Amino acid sequence: MNFNLTDDQRAVREAVATFAAREIAPNAAAWDRDHTFPVDVFAALGEIGIMGMSVSEKYGGAQLDAISVAISIEEISRADAGVGVTVSVHAGLITRIIEQFAREELRVAYLPKMCAGEWLGGFALTEAESGSDASALRTRAVRDGDHYVLDGRKQWVTNAGFAKALVIFARTGGAGPKGISAFLVDRETPGLMLGRKTEKLGIHSSDTTDVVLEGARVPADRLLGSEGEGYKIALASLGIGRLGIAAQSVGILAACLDTAQAYARDRRQFGSPIGHFQAVAFKIADMAVDLDAARLLLYRAAWMKDQGMQVLDASSKAKLFASTAARKHAAECVQVLGGYGYTTEFPAERYYRDAKITEIYEGTSEVQRILIARELLGRL
């Protein structure tokens, strides 16, 4: 076993960490406070190759390996988890789906601009009645000549308010997963409208908006894969997407450790830095242990993907552990900072709010346990 990163992977970490420290971290508190979606940052990330990091060079992408993609999302999330999930959905999910399942003319039309950060992508799967049970979705797509007509409402669509390209899942057949298809839908499609903008506990720099479809006419060539393959595309995408959320969680946890360490060295009580007290020191030690464990699970799953191996089980384990650890230690980071941790003067409270969502989206922690248990026990 070799746990060392390659020279290329270290270079990616250094480049993204430098960018995040310069362009993201100084603005993160203001973006969070004002609920700002920092559009210009994504164009700048496009210039350094991050918005197209999963895409082939043929379409203007950087074609990074899965470990480098995870590192990039980790380092961005360390500075701002909201920006991290925007990049994760765009560069980890949407561009990958388009390259793998869209027709060549659509790849040529969309991917170069998406790699440049000029166009963003959104993932529209969840509905009010189909969260964890994605196969129960009700949005319908009816074939009408050389178009499909889509009707329904998608909920909690990351990036929807700013996305040019939306991957939308709709029912073309009967009940159950085999009746679901996936479509690449342009934001300017007649009949597609933005619905309610979701006010959230955290990740305020990320946009979360409903998508309403009322007789939206989508050209038939926007079908991704074949009819009835949508659920398969969704499951494969979510397996990869979990790596992105695990990376986001690792980034939040790393930020918690950075903040707690610095404060424990500088803050003095009873004549000594508070890091000298076991009650504080042990919290920081536990953060460091869980950060290492979360990274190892994440990088192992990403390595497995690079080897062409099945990653559903490994990505579920990485997401489950990393998200649980991020939420737990974000609370401990607030505790280490005491009263200051509860104020907006320090970023600990933002980490605390941002961390919770990692246990929910891309499959709740309960769903991850179900998937892991099924791998071990089968469907009993």
Question: Which residues have a catalytic role annotated?
Answer: 362
Helix (H, G, I), strand (E, B) or coil at 222: helix
- The CA dihedral of 32, 79, 202, 253, to the nearest 10 degrees, is -150
Q: Determine the straight-line distance between the first and last CA of the chain, rounded to whole angstroms.
A: 35
Nearest to 346 by CA among 251, 276, 255, 248: 255
Angle ∠(284,244,41) on CA atoms, nearest 5: 95
Query: If residue 122 lies in a helix (H) or strand (E), which one and from where to where?
Result: strand 120-124
Contact 286, 212 (CB under 8 A): no
CA distances from 64 to 115, 230, 231 (A): 12, 26, 26
Q: Which residues pair with 142 in a beta bridge?
A: 149
- The CA dihedral of 333, 336, 340, 345, to the nearest 10 degrees, is -40
The structure tokens 């009010």 sit at 128
